[in-house]
Structure 1
Amino acid sequence: MGHDVDTSTPFLPPKAAQRQPDPLERIARELLLELGEDPEREGLSGTPARWARWWREFTTYEPGSLETVFESASTTETVCVSGIEVWSLCEHHLLPFSCNVTIGYRPQGQVLGLSKFARIAHQHAHRLQLQERLTSDIADMVAKLTASADIAVLCRGEHLCMAMRGIRTPATMTTVTWRGAFADPAVRAEFLALLPSSATGTGPH
């Protein structure tokens, strides 16, 4: 009895797909060339890929869960979280700026988990930003998650777009949002009294 012979092409596993360069790598190479550099020289040969990875990593930052809340019986106490340090990117010059963020609110039946304040600040910082908008964005998110209208957010920023270009002078910019009960000077004073001097600008940053 004869045997059938399989003459079909044997299965070969597909070759591993080659990594497609990130389009940002091309932009980085063009930037280096415009600056009079050789993208292929030692020290720069991997720079376009590293630069592309950094931009992707920074702008696709995932802060994790934001919505852990706990019941609170008090609606008159002030909760304040200070010393949250974040980095963001000035949308006018694509240069970094750092911010020291302070957040305060008066709970309306529920309080937000402590780590969530830092996650909120980082979520809104990891994009092209203005410090004024960053301050407002943080306040909006805290108000949404806590269901409280009584929100205070104070940011003190140092901007490389001022320190490294233009006037080339370091300076500190302060932005603040007062909402709800914090529009009351007495409540505002109570909030400010809780802060370390570095957060209010009365001491070294």
Structure 2
Amino acid sequence: MTTSVTGLGAALSTAVPAPGRPAAAIDTGRVAGLIAQLLTELGEDPTREGLIDTPDRVAAWWNAFLSPGDSATATCFTESRLSGQLVTVGGMSVWSLCEHHMLPMHLQVTAGYVPDGEVVGLSKFGRIAQCFAGRLQVQERFTRQVAEHLTGVIGREDIAVAVRGAHLCMSMRGVRMEEARTTTVHTGGRFGTDAVLSQQFLTVAAAQWGRRDG
């Protein structure tokens, strides 16, 4: 298990286009033509039965995958009596693409924060994960981007994000270790200074991953 732990910086880069996002609309017709060319170069006949519509289907998938939309405006609810409580949202499962080999990676995401007078609408967490997964990615960057976005949502750095990933670039190529998993952890604010709070979060995240593996 590889674990990377970093602190959140005060400045956010949400105004800068994130790596991996297409700069312009995707030309699905051109992409379909390139897929047909690839099939030909691989010794296939893109006009044969079974493949005749494959280039269009693949192009449509790329367009949908790389256009997940933004993470939408967060809905926050006032809860004036909440203070110091650990809130975690787990079970968020998203697919992304490794930008080194363009193979899928399956990411299980757990996010935690400490409310201070208000709570964040729960569906926001899943939308953020989907937004940053829908691009060519690396798990380490994905973890940081989710954490930094959540920091902007709550207005404080009391955020922790843990991600457990299964990478097909490791399980179906190279060393071909199907059971290998990569874990990344990004902490900020109290999660970086309060060992008890940090351990509570990691224990919850590990328990959620254990239930999914079981």
Structure 2 partner of 1:188: 198
Q: Is the 8 A contact 2:162 2:205 kept in 1?
A: no
Structure 1: how far apart are the matches of 2:191 and 2:71?
29
Q: Cα deviations across residues 29-60 of structure 1 (Å, max 9, x unaligned)? A: 11101110000000000000000000000000
Matched residue type, 1:22 = G
Structure 2: how far apart are the matches of 1:35 and 1:182?
50
Query: Rg larger in 1 or in 2?
Result: 1
Q: Mapping of 1:75-90 within 5 angstroms? A: 75-90=83-98
Q: Which has the higher mean CA deviation after the structures are superposed, 89-98 or 62-71?
A: 62-71
Structure 2 partner of 1:57: 64
**1:117 counterpart = 2:133:** no
**Structure 2 stretches of 5 or more lacking a match?**
1-26
SS at match of 1:93: coil
**Whose relative contact order is higher, 1 or 2, with alpha carbons under 8 Å and at least 6 apart?**
2
**1:91 counterpart = 2:126:** no
Matched residue type, 1:186 = V
Taking only aligned residues, the RMSD between alpha carbons, in angstroms, comes to 1.9
Structure 2 partner of 1:173: 182
Q: Cα deviations across residues 112-141 of structure 1 (Å, max 9, x unaligned)? A: 101110000000000111000000000011
Structure 1: how far apart are the matches of 2:57 and 2:212?
38
Matched residue type, 2:48 = R
Structure 2 partner of 1:197: 207
Q: Cα deviations across residues 81-110 of structure 1 (Å, max 9, x unaligned)? A: 011000001011111100100000012332
Q: Is the 8 A contact 1:154 1:176 kept in 2?
A: yes
Matched residue type, 1:72 = E
Identity among equivalent positions (%) equals: 44
SS at match of 2:52: coil
SS at match of 2:199: helix
Q: Is the 8 A contact 1:121 1:138 kept in 2?
A: yes
**Scaled by the length of structure 1, what TM-score is found?**
0.84
Q: Which has the higher mean CA deviation after the structures are superposed, 80-89 or 190-199?
A: 190-199
